[in-house]
Structure 1
């Protein structure tokens, strides 16, 4: 038994020593500069937009409605590049918006195939959406570098609501530009969606996975997502009884937490922060800073009286209205 314990301890020590040595000698790439990487990503994305054309399926009421296929324009080809739809008056329409993140301003291109007829999510809501994801990559063959497109994921029949607040930043920046549609239930238990928003987002790696990548996506890869927005689920991040989209004070569809210094290394003014405490209202349980939680200040629409909580001090004339700082 003693000899067994001796060899067991020796084996463990050897493995530990080997592991430590291996880790000590490992070389990890320093994090790339965001602005330098963005310039590279933007070049790749704009080349893609200028050298590929799209084919869109128009098939209302069926699953393949608004399916989009991307094809490289052959030498001498006359197909209209995606770039030709830039700021188009009709559809498809290639648009862009500026996104401030990592201390730089990203240009986020997105292709509007169809806007939709329902409601738009805000960037902290949940969405039910089908999508296909591709990543762009430079590959060198015979000293010639070529931009390649690689599929990494596709979801045609979504069953799960995805939070725009926890997905890659580019999703939260793009989906608010689209609207849901309508749907009908079929006798076989399936659902048919119509008039939904459909489009494509072209994300620099800084709005995607950046240095982390994933099991199927290399680090620093620009991403292309084609998608269809079927339904949204309103979120309430601070559980104060007010859906977060109603705490979007300036009504632009976007709310940010500027305390995240990795995303926002410089000080920015939060326009959705009622009491200016640097906590956005959608994460602030006391939006107006009066030491009464917002949840306690919500009035019952049927009676006009705030919901009672006996263990919390209240104004003599009733609870404060969460929309202002006066007693009611």
Structure 2
């Protein structure tokens, strides 16, 4: 499959990031009074199930250059009626899974159509960077969707809505040899992660509207995942997902020293004057470029159960 590269790709990145970022990142978004989240989840889930039971999907190639090579693929969703009355419902597909997500003390159903898990070596964390193409649609809406990118764009998972990142973390990109930049201005890719996700509003924008998205809208995203980069936003040696100290899969609320920067953006997590990277030792033992927690040595010089990089009482530099 080929994905066309456009001159104005950077413009698409900016637009896409705006459309997919979380509620908290968009101060200009219009919000209406918040409803009870548990009650809204019941309403949203009923709508999502109705959609899944009355619609089918079909993967189609898209041709732009006028040749026989498709530039990219899309998933067409349509109603089961008329000439399509014999099509199988998405709800009955063996490829559809339901992922339970608890957020704001409410359990949500996130529906994921698993078209291809991906053949690459790495699944992204909720804090990593991902290279994707995608299309976003509303339920029961026959227009062309509210946002899309047919040229691969990099996303920072930290900034995306919860439903998106909780789905993407279960997929992989493609193998490096299966993603090639061509001399004619296209890129060729096979074996990438491919999914359609059906998101309740509580894992989306909830009571905040976005361009083309009314408040309390369940969302549909068709996503193709090509590459994954492990993120270490502050380059302190600790991957950003490992700086989620309270385990809520949100790194923006972990701030040991209480300054203006959460730990994943703070080069000195405990504010003791010794950089975090100098209070730990990192060894990529298998030389795969991916740092796991067992490849980081955390020290506790005063034996109080708090690692040096989070303890202002311990300041010794460990790496000379």
Is the pair's TM-score, using the shorter chain for normalization, greater than 0.5? yes
Q: Which residue of 1 aligns with 2:150?
A: 156
Q: Would the alpha carbon gap of residues 64 and 94 (structure 1) be closer, same or farther in structure 2, given more than 3 Å must change? A: same
Following TM superposition, by how much is the alpha carbon of 1:177 offset from its aligned partner in structure 2, in angstroms? 0.8
Q: Which residue of 2 aligns with 1:96?
A: 98
- Alpha-carbon displacement from aligned partner over 1:219-276 (angstroms, at most 9, x marks no partner): 11100000100112322134312322566799x9x8334949xxxxxxxxxxxx9x9x
Following TM superposition, by how much is the alpha carbon of 1:111 offset from its aligned partner in structure 2, in angstroms? 0.6
For residues 97 and 124 of structure 2, what CA distance do their matches in structure 1 show?
18
For residues 257 and 246 of structure 1, what CA distance do their matches in structure 2 show?
9
Q: Which residue of 1 aligns with 2:158?
A: 165
- Alpha-carbon displacement from aligned partner over 1:257-310 (angstroms, at most 9, x marks no partner): 4949xxxxxxxxxxxx9x9x9x997567677999964311343759xxxxxxxx
Structure 1, unaligned stretches of length 5 or more?
A: 1-27, 137-146, 261-272, 303-320
Whether 1:255 aligns to 2:255 is no
Following TM superposition, by how much is the alpha carbon of 1:167 offset from its aligned partner in structure 2, in angstroms? 1.5
Q: Would the alpha carbon gap of residues 61 and 171 (structure 1) be closer, same or farther in structure 2, given more than 3 Å must change? A: farther
Relative to the length of structure 1, the TM-score reads 0.65
Q: Which residue of 1 aligns with 2:55?
A: 52
For residues 226 and 247 of structure 1, what CA distance do their matches in structure 2 show?
30
Following TM superposition, by how much is the alpha carbon of 1:208 offset from its aligned partner in structure 2, in angstroms? 1.1
* 2:81 alignment partner, SS class: coil
Structure 2 residue aligned with 1:325, among 294, 300, 310? 300
Following TM superposition, by how much is the alpha carbon of 1:100 offset from its aligned partner in structure 2, in angstroms? 1.4
Structure 2, unaligned stretches of length 5 or more?
A: 1-30, 63-67, 285-295, 302-315
Structure 1 residue aligned with 2:92, among 76, 84, 87? 84
Q: Report if the CA contact (8 A) 2:135-2:148 is conserved.
A: yes
RMSD in angstroms over aligned alpha carbons? 3.5
Q: Which residue of 2 aligns with 1:295?
A: 277
Following TM superposition, by how much is the alpha carbon of 1:81 offset from its aligned partner in structure 2, in angstroms? 0.4
For residues 194 and 32 of structure 2, what CA distance do their matches in structure 1 show?
38
Whether 1:69 aligns to 2:72 is no
Whether 1:193 aligns to 2:214 is no
Q: Report if the CA contact (8 A) 2:124-2:130 is conserved.
A: yes
Number of matched pairs? 248
Q: Would the alpha carbon gap of residues 177 and 280 (structure 1) be closer, same or farther in structure 2, given more than 3 Å must change? A: farther
Q: Would the alpha carbon gap of residues 79 and 42 (structure 1) be closer, same or farther in structure 2, given more than 3 Å must change? A: same
* 1:45 alignment partner, SS class: helix
For residues 258 and 300 of structure 1, what CA distance do their matches in structure 2 show?
23
Higher relative contact order (CA 8 A, sep 6+): 2
For residues 120 and 217 of structure 1, what CA distance do their matches in structure 2 show?
29
